[in-house]
Structure 1
Amino acid sequence: MVNGKKSQSLVAGLAANLSENLKDLRRCGHHVSRRATVASVGIQLSGFKRALGDPQSLAALIAQSRKDNDQPYRFPRGVSFDVAVSKQTIAGSEVVVLNSNGEDSQARIIYLIGGAYLVRADKQHWQFLNRLAMTTGCQVIVPLYPLLPQHDFTAAYQFLIQLYTDIYSQVAVSNITLMGDSAGAGLAAGFCEYLGQRGLPQPGNLILLSPWVDVTMSSKLIDRYVEKDVTLDPAGLRHIGRLWAGKADPRDYRVSPLYGDVHPLRRVTVFTGTHEVMYPQTNDFVRKLRHQGVQVDYHIGRGLFHIYPLYDIPEAATALKTIVQTIRQDELPVE
């Protein structure tokens, strides 16, 4: 914790830096909304990046997650929903379902939440998922898949394959969208490659928000984005990535889908910001998809931060319209 004077100084410094960044973007012809700038300040003040970048703080974060992830999940304080919500248990893990009172034929969105494979869903996630459920009308299925430090990727895959096969036995795969943010998006991409390896059907859509597709963070371009990124620190992510890989090579496609066979994937939609360390690897992943002839729709948020579509900002509203259009596979008016 910091005292009042230090806190005020930190806020002033962050505001000044972001103001300069905003001026630079405008000189380049790019415009970031005021609400996005304010959200960026709030993210930086949360201290998550500092926790990732400091070994002692990261160890404390992992220890806290060990305690938290052993407890039954509770929605964060202040979370409310405008749609029907229920909880189920599948393969020993909880699943939250939004629009749970829909028809059996209702289209499904399987949403994999990010959090560096370590931290559970926060208020920001549920607010976004509430908007997603309302605007798409789909049944949104949110598996609270096994996390670090108790589990590595193998437990998550065992759970997801059971969940996925159960869902596509109920509805046509063309009516299933697999979606995720950050680590959850990386898991979604790797899982689709896993389906391809086993000759299992792909979901109708794969939608990735700031996907973590290389846990080794090996791109030579990452250093250009570290200072701009208000959310993530690559050193901490590399450590977490090694833990998530468990006994496997961190370049195993199931944890780093950038190195896998993307040919079986279909209808991929990707969102990323230019002010995040995931940007270079996301570019590499999109290039690989296109080289393999995979249909991909790529949306780059100029001057925007990690997982920006989850926030209540104008740029996210535009992204949500695109997501709705993708899922409905028809043309919606764009304001």
Structure 2
Amino acid sequence: MALLAPSSPSALHQVVAKVLPRVRRARDLDDAESERRRILRWQSTLPDALPTRLVPGFERRFTLEVDRSAGWPVYVFSPRGRRVRRTVLYGHGGGYMAPIDPFHVLHAASLARRLDARIVMPDYPLAPTHTWRDSRDDLVDLAVAWAEHADCTGEKPLVLAGDSAGGGLVLAIAQAMRDRVRRDGSGPTAGAMVLHAPWVDLTSTAPGTEEFSARDPWLFLGKIRLYAQWWAGAEPVERPEVSPGLGDLSDLPPALMFHGTLDTLAPACRVLAERAEAAGWQLTSIEERDLLHVYSIFPLLPEARRAMRRTLDFLA
């Protein structure tokens, strides 16, 4: 089901749409080799810790554990002094080459407080050094383990959530969990999904992508296509593990998706909604006119607060 929100962008969103791309130094690709060197240099400077600086008093308000059994960190946090009622496995965005951002933690912390939830946030290995093959099985095992935990403890079913690349990641995880059930005849699955402008088609061939990209002040097709090649590695980008929006969408958990039309990925989100309806997948798609990529995870925006209310209603 696709819903078009009728309102115009708020004044604050209009400011953010101008300022954020400048702050993030958004620009299109110069050349592939220079971009690879730039990303590797930047990644070498990144701290090995959850970036909590946008959440005041995080250490006091949340418990935090770090699971490194897969060879890379999985951050698990929940509100102190409150009974955990469910788990949200959150896939962070960043084109598969950028790490967890403070805004991801801020959004996830808000979910944790409002849902009495445990957040599981994998810091999965990044391109260009790594491809999807380096983390897929571990990520699916992680989701299965937490879904089994919910079944055993009586907590509410696992929620898979993510933004941009992370949205595509959790959709691929949901498909893999479904495929295990089909193969084995039983097994745990997620109860629901929340997708924020998910990057689900790494071919960038959805009708209208070029036109939407021309208006997008933040995302650029040259970089998107390069990052897609990095993540796919030697495999075709059409593979459902890489582009889950092109895969089988039947028998998936009910899902809620947010995206704006000031977003290069909007056409692919529209195609996902159409393919979901054809497959019988219960996906509610909320499209907001002239809103930025992943606007729905920036909590100061009125549009993001509206998205949070919808999310809480959906997960109630």
TM-score by length of 2: 0.87
Structure 2 partner of 1:16: none
Structure 2 counterpart of 1:59, one-letter code: R
Q: Distance in 1 between matches of 2:139 and 2:221?
A: 27
Correspondence 1:244 to 2:231? yes
Q: Which moved more, 1:31-40 or 1:172-181?
A: 172-181
CA contact (8 A) 1:88 1:96 kept: yes
Instruction: Measure how far apart 1:62 and its partner are.
Output: 2.0
Q: Percent identity?
A: 24
Instruction: Measure how far apart 1:229 and its partner are.
Output: 1.1
Q: Distance in 1 between matches of 2:284 and 2:224?
A: 27
Instruction: Measure how far apart 1:277 and its partner are.
Output: 0.6
Instruction: Measure how far apart 1:177 and its partner are.
Output: 0.4
The SS at the match of 1:93 is coil
Aligned partner of 1:182 among 146, 161, 164: 164
Instruction: Measure how far apart 1:83 and its partner are.
Output: 3.3
CA contact (8 A) 2:259 2:269 kept: yes
Structure 2 partner of 1:323: 311
Q: Which moved more, 1:97-106 or 1:290-299?
A: 97-106
Structure 1 counterpart of 2:192, one-letter code: N
The SS at the match of 2:234 is coil
RMSD between superposed Cα atoms in Å: 2.2
Where does 1:18-29 land on structure 2 (aligned, <5 Å)? Answer: none
Partner deviation per Cα, 1:50-75 (whole Å, 9 max, x = no partner) = 0x432266334322244146x52352
Structure 1 partner of 2:44: 67
The SS at the match of 1:247 is coil
The SS at the match of 1:217 is coil
CA contact (8 A) 1:48 1:232 kept: no
Query: Who wins on radius of gyration, i.e. which is larger?
Result: 1
Structure 1 partner of 2:3: none
Aligned partner of 1:164 among 143, 159, 170: 143
Structure 1 partner of 2:70: 91
Aligned partner of 1:128 among 107, 110, 122: 107
Q: Which moved more, 1:130-139 or 1:316-325?
A: 130-139
Structure 1 partner of 2:284: 297
Runs of 4+ with deviation above 6 angstroms: 102-105
- C-alpha change, 1:78 and 1:164, in structure 2 (3 Å) is closer
Instruction: Measure how far apart 1:318 and its partner are.
Output: 0.5
- C-alpha change, 1:250 and 1:48, in structure 2 (3 Å) is farther
Partner deviation per Cα, 1:164-204 (whole Å, 9 max, x = no partner) = 12212211395210000000001111111122222243310
CA contact (8 A) 2:167 2:196 kept: yes
Aligned partner of 1:41 among 2, 8, 18: 18
List alignment gaps of at least 5 residues for structure 2.
1-5, 182-186
